[in-house]
Structure 1
Amino acid sequence: MTTVEPVADTRTRLLATALRLFAEHGVEGTSLQMIADELGVTKAAVYYHFKTKAEITEAVAEPGIRELDELVVEAAKHRRHGARVDHLLDGFVDLVVRHRVLVALFSSDPGIDAALAKSRHGVEGFKQALITIVAGPEPDVTGRVAAIVAFTGIAMAGGSPDLAEVDDETLRQELIGVGRRLLGRPRRRVC
């Protein structure tokens, strides 16, 4: 059992280091050697966990993608349209705030798109699922535009370095407020 813990710890540290380096240099600008050097290990030690940078990229992105997959499925289960939209919006904002650095990479680095493409929904599947939940199965142009602007805008703002100093709760409240306005949802009453 003790032999598993150091391996898991090294893998966790490797992924955290890769994410930080991806954020600083982009996926394409980060080499396996850079990750190894930053960790203070050999390149062979990195290869023990991952054979390619693409595998590292997928592993870095996997938690956020898995959460997005689950969110879309759970939101779609609600019977009322408003409940589906609210569940999706709240969950999406939470995900964006929790994974700011990863979201910034999705918004700015094409090297990470391959990880999203391998998810249950895929890139186009996510877009279609979000649009369908928000605007219905046969949305008009206005509904499609509102959904795309809302979710793309939330992701880009949440991952923006211009908002890095904003605390999580403030960012969350602001993104929810903007999202509700863009999606035509009523303001929530504060009790």
Structure 2
Amino acid sequence: MAAGPATQEDTRTRLLATALRLFTEHGVEGTSLQMIADALGVTKAAVYYHFKTKDEIVEAVAEPGLRELGQVIDEASRLRRRGARIDHLLTGFVDTVVRHRALVALFSSDPGIARALARTWTSPEENFSVRILGILVGEESDLNRMVAAHVAVAGIALAGGSPQFAGVDDDTLREQLLDVGRRLLGRPRRVS
């Protein structure tokens, strides 16, 4: 009896969750397809049914977070006022970081993920770093604004993915990251 589409999707979802866990434990380059298969309790052929290479798995693991970040950037870039663009981008970036903590930790600590993704995510539209900094810095790119934007983006990502804050609930972490980001970017604090 063949597995139905729901079972195949469940297996694919479990495979990606397992791969992310193993990537965070062993690094992308230190994780083999056999390790993923063993952790799932399936054959390596079953992994190959869903993905032909480890790079395809890395891309699939990263895709939800990258897609979400791309949407935030697109939405922010369509806003007319500079302050609105910055606020939307900052809030969306923090939300994405908090929602995808394990993936962000992997991006922050494992160069293997960047190498795997560089093979497919190479167009300027997909260069999120350039696009994010372009929105945050704007046309008036003085050194102070550029440094503040870099520190805000890198700091939010590093803190959001830090194992030190793994026990902090999402709402608290989100609030803290937004507060720091607003201060670094010279944005007014939001009053609840």
TM-score, normalising length from structure 2?
Answer: 0.93
1:176 aligns with one of 162, 175, 178: 178
Q: How does 1:14-163 map to 2 (within 5 A)?
A: 14-114=15-115, 116-117=117-118, 118-119=120-121, 125-163=127-165
Distance apart, 1:59 and its partner CA: 0.5
- Number of matched residues? 190
1:3-18 pair list within 5 angstroms: 3-18=4-19
Query: What is the percent sequence identity of the aligned residues?
Result: 67
- Structure 1 segments, 4+ long, off by >6 Å, are none
User: Does the aligned pair in 2 maintain the 1:65–1:116 contact within 8 Å?
Assistant: no
Q: Which runs of 5+ in 1 are unaligned?
A: none
Instruction: Let me know the Cα RMSD of the aligned residues.
Output: 1.9
The 8 Å contact of residues 55 and 117 in structure 2, kept in 1 or not, is answered as no
Further displaced range: 123-132 or 166-175? 123-132
Shift in Å at residue 174 of structure 1? 0.2
Equivalent residue letter for 1:168: D
Q: Distance in 1 between matches of 2:15 and 2:97?
A: 22
The code of the aligned residue for 2:186 comes to: G
Deviations 1:32-70 (A, max 9, x none): 111101100000100111111111001000110111111
Greater shift, 178-187 or 117-126, is seen at 117-126
> What do the CA deviations read for 1:85-137 (whole angstroms, capped 9, x no partner)?
00000000000000000000000101111455334756983222112111113
Q: Give per-residue Cα distances to partners, 1:2-57, cap 9 Å, x unaligned.
A: 72111111111100110011111111111111110110000010011111111100
Residue of structure 2 equivalent to 1:187: 189
In 2, Cα distance between the equivalents of 1:32 and 1:141? 45
1:162 is displaced (CA, Å) by: 0.8
What is the alpha-carbon distance in structure 2 between the residues aligned to residue 123 and residue 29 of structure 1?
30
Residue deviations 1:119-178, cap 9 Å, x none? 475698322211211111351221111111101100000000011111110000000000
Amino acid across the alignment from 1:110: P
